[in-house]
Structure 1
Amino acid sequence: MNDTSPSQTGRLAWITGASSGIGKAVAERLVREGWRVAVSARSAEKLQALAEQHAGRVFAFPLDITDRDAALATADAIRAAHGPIDLAIFSAGTYKRDSVRRFDARDLATTMNLNVVGTANTMEAVIPDMIARRQGEIAVIASVAGLVGLPGGGFYGASKAALNNLCQALYPELEREGVRLRIINPGFVDTPLTKKNDFPMPFLVSSDEAADAIVSGLKTSRYEIIFPWKMAVGIKFLAALPKNLLFRFTRRMLRKPG
């Protein structure tokens, strides 16, 4: 996406996870920059309120991304009503802190099904059309948690690591087909999901600040959009450490068993 200026009034974006948090903030930012935006999430009521707030610019398409058939049908419905999808931003996801004393593989399955398989469902819904047109852009929102394993975030981090790996694998193929792919790795963002945390979150940014970073990043040629920079530096440093040194740091993150 080389230009998100108001002159791009004819372009259409599709954003999942758009009823709150990062997805909603990005949708509102794109509207201010002249985009038409189709928004999806499970909460039809919240989507409709957003669409009414931006009448004629935002269009509500409720969706549970874990339903593959529904994801494919939703993308078809968006294209039929509003034309080709130029930019897809896949933001829907879930988070639950984990612990070895409460280790439950069902929680991992739920997280992976929504964060990874659900995202893949929506990717499948746009990739064939973008390849056929040899144009389009996909941005997948993962997390810095996917770059290094951190205590208490094993399930969530595993899902975001999977998205990072998946996008790295798909990037050369999609590039050859004329489709641009990005990975977005935010640090802590003040959203309904992070409000569950009962521990200090360093370098916390607001949803609006995250949206600014994402939309600004999409105007560049970068594959990875990672922010805030202090968190990015810290995580990249940890990920580059030999494992014995990494574990010296992560042991300090351990909380009392409970």
Structure 2
Amino acid sequence: MTKALDGKVAVVTGAASGIGLASAEAMLAAGARVVTADRDEAALKALHARHGDAVVPLVVDLLDPADCASLVPRALSAAGRIDVFHANAGTYVGGDLVDADAAAIDRMLTLNVNVVMKNVHDVLPHMIARKTGDVIVTSSLAAHYPTPWEPVYASSKWAINAFVQIVRRQVFKHGVRVGAISPGPVITGLLADWPQDKLQELKAQGSLLEASEVAEVILFMLTRPRGMTIRDVVMMPTNFDL
């Protein structure tokens, strides 16, 4: 039986855990070959062991400029082409701005904004030349609402939301689709910095998403007919009330 992504090659950043891992495994299940990019070599080896040669592990530190610049060329060398690029890698800084560490702010803005822009910049010429491709960016519900407890994180996602909206309008004429997935709170390691009382409250209410649920929506976005773009998806737990 033909699967929805048979013959496709995808690249997923931050693929060792959380939404990135769930996205990679959903695409693998749909028939894609997936280049998994992350700095966690052990986790990538484990993923390869589970799925075999359908997984192409690339150990990369996206915060290192040279490593970041090497990602797309290495992926193309290993897999031959890129049909899907899921720019997912990111980090989180929450809490009051006055309590935030300046170095952590700089690291987060680099990974959440600059790295995404550079990765998409690097993959677009390949997709434009082939006149087809999909770019999915992991954004956040925080990109659509001034969330009081995460001024730095929300600002990074507002920036990347603007980037997605504008780049999509530049490249759709080349057959390249660009979309963003904006989940509410997801059970991943990125919530480790949330106020514990807030986190416990949301867990008790069932007001958190699973990464696999986000991956299902990403797969829906990727499998629409080429004449259709699902440009933005905002998804949240029904009980999550801002």
TM-score (norm 2): 0.88
Secondary structure at the aligned position of 2:148 is classed as: coil
2:76 maps to which of 79, 92, 98: 79
2:106 aligns to what? Answer: 109
After TM superposition, the runs of 4+ consecutive aligned structure 1 residues lying more than 6 A away are none
- The Cα of 1:231 is off from its aligned counterpart by 7.3
Confirm or deny that 1:204 pairs with 2:208. yes
- The Cα of 1:213 is off from its aligned counterpart by 2.2
- Percent identity, aligned pairs only? 29
Deviations 1:146-181 (A, max 9, x none): 112122200000000000011111111111222110
Contact 2:62 2:115 (8 Å CA) reproduced? yes
- The Cα of 1:112 is off from its aligned counterpart by 0.8
- For 1:190, the aligned partner's letter is I
- For 2:216, the aligned partner's letter is D
Contact 1:40 1:60 (8 Å CA) reproduced? yes
1:224 aligns to what? Answer: 232
2:218 maps to which of 214, 217, 222: 214
Secondary structure at the aligned position of 1:85 is classed as: coil
- For 1:112, the aligned partner's letter is L
Residues 231 and 71 of structure 1: is their aligned pair in 2 closer, same or farther, counting only changes over 3 Å? farther
- The Cα of 1:49 is off from its aligned counterpart by 1.0
Taking the aligned partners of 2:92 and 2:110, their CA distance within structure 1 comes to 12
Confirm or deny that 1:16 pairs with 2:39. no
1:66 maps to which of 54, 63, 66: 63
Secondary structure at the aligned position of 1:180 is classed as: strand
Residues 174 and 193 of structure 1: is their aligned pair in 2 closer, same or farther, counting only changes over 3 Å? same
Moved more, 115-124 or 67-76: 67-76
- The Cα of 1:229 is off from its aligned counterpart by 6.6
Secondary structure at the aligned position of 1:189 is classed as: coil
- For 2:152, the aligned partner's letter is F
Q: Whose radius of gyration is greater, 1 or 2?
A: 1
- The Cα of 1:39 is off from its aligned counterpart by 0.3
1:156 aligns to what? Answer: 153
Secondary structure at the aligned position of 1:185 is classed as: strand
- The Cα of 1:67 is off from its aligned counterpart by 2.9
- For 1:169, the aligned partner's letter is I
- For 1:170, the aligned partner's letter is V
- For 1:19, the aligned partner's letter is A
Taking the aligned partners of 1:160 and 1:28, their CA distance within structure 2 comes to 24
- Name structure 1 gaps, 5 residues minimum: 236-258
TM-score (norm 1): 0.82
- The Cα of 1:104 is off from its aligned counterpart by 4.4
2:180 maps to which of 176, 180, 183: 183
- The Cα of 1:59 is off from its aligned counterpart by 0.9
Map of 1:19-98 to 2, 5 A cutoff? 19-98=16-95
Count of aligned residue pairs for this structure pair: 230
- The Cα of 1:85 is off from its aligned counterpart by 0.3
Taking the aligned partners of 1:42 and 1:147, their CA distance within structure 2 comes to 29
- For 2:217, the aligned partner's letter is A
Secondary structure at the aligned position of 1:6 is classed as: coil
- Superposition RMSD in Å: 2.0
- For 2:234, the aligned partner's letter is I
Map of 1:232-251 to 2, 5 A cutoff? none
Secondary structure at the aligned position of 1:190 is classed as: coil
Secondary structure at the aligned position of 2:39 is classed as: coil
Taking the aligned partners of 2:239 and 2:151, their CA distance within structure 1 comes to 18
1:146 aligns to what? Answer: 143
Deviations 1:25-75 (A, max 9, x none): 111111111111000011111111111111011110011222343233221
